[in-house]
Structure 1
Amino acid sequence: MSVIPESGMNFGKYDEEDLFHIETSEIYKKLGDGIPTVEFILKYNGNNIVFLEAKKSCPNVANKYESKEKELKFEEYYGSITEKFISSLQIYLAAIMNRYQDTSEIGDNLRSVSNMKDVKLKFILVVKNAEDITW
């Protein structure tokens, strides 16, 4: 069982068979610099797969239009999160389609997904220091 510390928070206790520590994996490191990824990928409750990104803070949507700079910062922040989700999904799908030589870092339960049409993908952003849910 693993607890994953990230952005001042602890996630888990998760079974390693259900995890892919994508951000620290050799698969990711061998792809080279500049590819953003989420913290980890987790399979749970049968056919659910979570791509989890953790942040300590985020821009407040209520302040988004106070200045052009804040608007740009807001768009860049959420654009980068989306990019992490997309890149992580692509890396994961390539791994389960055997596009990498060694996929042993990916938990067996994630690696053995055989029918993606039955899988529910969930892309989750956890923000530690947002003041309320609307933020």
Structure 2
Amino acid sequence: MAETNWKRVATHLGELSGEFTPAQRDLADALGVPLAPGTPMPVAAALLRAHLTGPLLLKRAQPVDEEEYRYLELVAGEAAIEVPPQEQIAQRDILEAWLEVAWARRSVIHLERLSPERAGGHGLGVDRALRGPRRCGLRVGPQVTRAI
């Protein structure tokens, strides 16, 4: 069943993009993989997989090209997160982990900005405090919510 409480969704997305887990830290320490403080969980997982590619005979990840990295920079900017330089994101698996984090954080930003709530049980409404230069109707469910 889909989650209908945007605050729980935002919290969950925030947790998914949070700092590495104690288990990831323990594994990284045992393998000698450096994890900087604040490294997001998906990125830590990708770094650990990259380190284990050879020993576990995993499929080698594709390299990251300039366009892919520029897209990451764009999304990271929208999400207000800093990403490492392209030289430190050598594999697509690591880039995709950073994208996962950026998409999650960007979603949290937009959820908090919109603050969608149930409107009389007939769909989603939008916080009336939301203002913007463009105004258009948003139709969700059987009613039209306030103009955005």
Q: What is the TM-score when the length of structure 1 is the normalising length?
A: 0.30
Greater share of strand: 1
- The structure that is helix-richer by fraction is 2
Kindly name which structure, 1 or 2, has the bigger radius of gyration based on alpha carbons: 2
